[in-house]
Amino acid sequence: MPPFDVPEGDPFGPHNLPYGVFSPSGSTERRVGVRLGEYVLDAGAAAAALRSPHHPLLARPTLNALLAAGRPTWSQVRHAVTAWVTDPAHRETVEPLFYLLSEVTLHLPFEVADYVDFYASENHARNVGQIFRPDAEDSLTPNWKHLPIGYHGRAGTVIASGTDVVRPSGQRKGPGDPAPVFGPSIRLDIEAEVGFVVGAPSELGKQVGLGDFREHVFGLCLLNDWSARDIQAWEYVPLGPFLGKSFATSVSAWITPLDALEHARVAPPQRTHPLLPYLDDSTPQTEPGGYDLHISVAINGHVVSEPPFSTMYWTAAQQLAHMTVNGASLRTGDLYGSGTVSGPEESQRGSLLELTWNGRDPLELPDGKRAFLEDGDVVTLSAWAPGADGRRVGLGEVSGRIVSG
């Protein structure tokens, strides 16, 4: 079936049009692509063929030039690309510029500047608190309802979906061990997250307000924040996670523009604590900050969890406002993760730590029990969001296979 004839119900139809970077079969040249159904359009070639003024942003090896261009240009380019792939007048010119997805190599779509990871799901934070601090009066730390807790991660080890993940080695120390031991992690885990991609930069010393979220953030992707729980547990006091996370963070090869998710915007959960003005999204003028993304986590093709992103307590707009409230600047290519998405139900938890309650209740998979990940396991996150007229907007999946170190 030719690309223009994408079926009506396809979650990657012309209402979606996520951006990525691909190489045609047999080539190592990187090109900006736009996904349509099971095809990818060579966006730079299409821009050249149709003499688009946006050609300089699209004939590139990464999305960074497009990301840097800012919201008005993002809308213009999306408008143009939509016409290219839907207007019958362009069909003859554009159709030869599509490649079958199955015949291209997909790459990390942008150069990551800084990577920040948040901790925005109340269900996740409470589960983790109960597991690690069972005697604490409150499973949340005292700051949790007042600010979106976050920390910086390693930008250099953000990898594209499909890249193998080498099981990390490191120090671990169980409560009964007299001294730490060294070896491959034996508690390798996932964290199902959504990643937000900053396009337009901001100036050092200037805060980015809640209302400026859409001026700076281009789009989102799925993100798997692989976590070695044994390494993390021994290292993280007092300065936070480091080697337990820094070996790899996988992102989907497709960045979904916020413009494709207009119909997925929802109000976040009711706030239980008053918020300081720079985080307060309860005023009537504030646009809904949540996104109704339906995530699915599969291990070796078997779905183990379906975390609902709409349950996240802190929104991406609040996270951006918080990240910059101290004057920290944004750069094109900054990536920030939502934090593990866990819903209120057991079947909605976004990590094995929670799904197996720290290994106590292993999952029963068709190929055996799992407390944590084994070598050879393939973890795949996928998701959809509601679009107009009952359509679904698909997010690019993020997948990774564990290989021994």
Do 128 and 191 touch, CB atoms closer than 8 A?
Answer: no
Kindly indicate which of the ranges 55-63, 74-82, 89-97, 245-253 contains the residues binding a second copy, using the contact rule CB under 8 A. Answer: 245-253
Count residues near a second copy (CB under 8 A): 62
Kindly indicate which of the ranges 85-93, 109-117, 213-221, 287-295 contains the residues binding a second copy, using the contact rule CB under 8 A. Answer: 109-117
Q: According to CB under 8 A, which one of 270, 272, 285, 326 is a site residue for a second copy? A: 326
Task: Kindly state whether residue 241 participates in binding a second copy, applying the rule CB under 8 A.
Answer: yes
Task: Kindly state whether residue 242 participates in binding a second copy, applying the rule CB under 8 A.
Answer: yes
Q: Which of 54, 124, 216, 322 is catalytic?
A: 124
DSSP states along 122-135: HHHHHHHHHHH-TT
Q: For residues 12 and 103, what is the distance between their CA atoms, to the nearest angstrom?
A: 17
**Which residues, 6 or more positions from 327, have their beta carbon under 8 angstroms from its beta carbon?**
204, 205, 206, 207
Decide whether 44 or 170 has the Cβ nearer to a second copy: 170
3-state secondary structure labels for all residues of 281-306: CCCCCCCCCEECCEEEEEECCEEEEC
Task: Kindly state whether residue 175 participates in binding a second copy, applying the rule CB under 8 A.
Answer: no
Q: Residue 152: which of 246, 247, 231 has the closest Cα? A: 246
Task: Kindly state whether residue 186 participates in binding a second copy, applying the rule CB under 8 A.
Answer: no
Report the relative pairing of strands 249-251 and 217-224 from DSSP bridges: antiparallel
CA distances (Å), origin 226, targets 79, 150, 317:
36, 16, 24
Question: What mask of x and - would describe binding to a second copy in positions 263 to 292, judged by CB under 8 A?
Answer: -----------x-xxx--------------
Task: Kindly state whether residue 159 participates in binding a second copy, applying the rule CB under 8 A.
Answer: yes
| Angle, CA 195 vertex, CA 282 and CA 126 arms, to 5° | 60
Question: What mask of x and - would describe binding to a second copy in positions 114 to 153, judged by CB under 8 A?
Answer: x-x--x---------------------xxx--xx-xxxxx
| Catalytic residue flag (residue 216) | no
Task: Kindly state whether residue 387 participates in binding a second copy, applying the rule CB under 8 A.
Answer: no
CA distances (Å), origin 391, targets 9, 79, 285, 388:
6, 19, 28, 6
Q: Residue 260: which of 78, 96, 105, 398 has the closest Cα? A: 78
Q: Is 232 annotated as a binding residue?
A: yes
**Which residues, 6 or more positions from 363, have their beta carbon under 8 angstroms from its beta carbon?**
299, 304, 352, 355, 356, 369, 370, 371
Task: Kindly state whether residue 68 participates in binding a second copy, applying the rule CB under 8 A.
Answer: no
Residues belonging to the active site: 124
Binding residue positions for Mg(2+)? 225, 245, 249
Summarize the annotated binding site for substrate as residue ranges: 119, 133, 232, 236, 340
Q: Which residues does the annotation place in the binding site?
A: 117, 119, 133, 191, 193, 225, 232, 236, 245, 249, 340
- State the residues that interact with a second copy by CB under 8 A: 113-114, 116, 119, 141-143, 146-147, 149-157, 159, 166, 168-171, 173, 179-180, 182, 204-205, 207, 228, 231, 234-244, 246-248, 274, 276-278, 322-323, 325-331, 334, 405
